[in-house]
Amino acid sequence: MRYVTWYDALAYCDWLTDTLKNSPSTPKPLAHLLQREGWRVTLPSEAEWEKAARGPAPTPGPSPARGGGVGAYPWGDDFDPANANTAETGIGDTSAVGCFPGGASPYVILDMSGNVWEWTRSLWGKNWGKPEYGYPYQPGADRENLQAPRDMLRVLRGGSFDNDRSHVRCASRYRFNPNLRLVDLGFRLVVSPFRL
């Protein structure tokens, strides 16, 4: 999805949580988490998003064939326009999820780089030039407050089809007004024990 505000994305998460909770077709493990454990469908935190993009922390020994949590991009250190929908790819618009299988993260998650910027739960703060909630991620300090004032900027991750290689790195972060929609703003979902 694109052209969605942060609030649109959250409303969709709430709707999907309720729908999956009450549907007899929901797979049993997911139904158990939603119905009995109190989990919910939500946006990832900034840290969860980066973990999904980078993969597990590297283990001692020979380097793994895939990124293993150390690459600049989900697929490793070297940028390759065949792995993501970016300005270098030249498509100039969004693409269907899965068009760039070579860009999968070590967890085999697609399109973590490029295509659309993805909203996270995480706060940036009110100042465009200086984040109140910096990175590396420090949990706490109310940085995942879903009830924060509407003038608090939210963190976006992943870059988009109109960004170059520097903005689609796993570590790249951006901020935007949660009340606005643009052609290159979208979201990704997680199922999480996150509590409001």
Whether residue 61 is predicted with pLDDT greater than 60 in this model: the reply is no
Taking alpha carbons only, the member of 140, 93, 132 closest to residue 115 is 93
* Residue ranges of domains in the chain, CATH in brackets: 6-192 (3.90.1580.10)
Residue 139 is predicted with a pLDDT of 73
Cβ pair 55, 34 in contact under 8 A? no
Averaged confidence pLDDT in the chain: 91
Residue 60 is predicted with a pLDDT of 60
Whether residue 68 is predicted with pLDDT greater than 70 in this model: the reply is no
Cβ pair 127, 195 in contact under 8 A? no
Q: Sorting pLDDT into bands at 50, 70 and 90, what band is 69?
A: low
Tens of pLDDT, residues 106-144: 999 999 999 999 999 999 999 999 999 988 877 777 899
Query: For residue 158, how far is the Cα from the chain centroid?
Result: 7
Residue 65 is predicted with a pLDDT of 46
Tokens of 151: 């003038």
Residues 48-62: what's their mean pLDDT?
A: 81
Q: Are strands 40-42 and 173-176 parallel, antiparallel or unpaired?
A: unpaired
Q: What are phi and psi of 135, to 5 degrees?
A: -140, 140
Residue 66 is predicted with a pLDDT of 44
Tens of pLDDT, residues 152-184: 999 999 999 999 999 999 999 999 999 999 999
Residues above pLDDT 70, as percent of the chain: 92
Q: Give Cβ neighbours of residue 177 (< 8 Å, ≥ 6 apart).
A: 151, 153
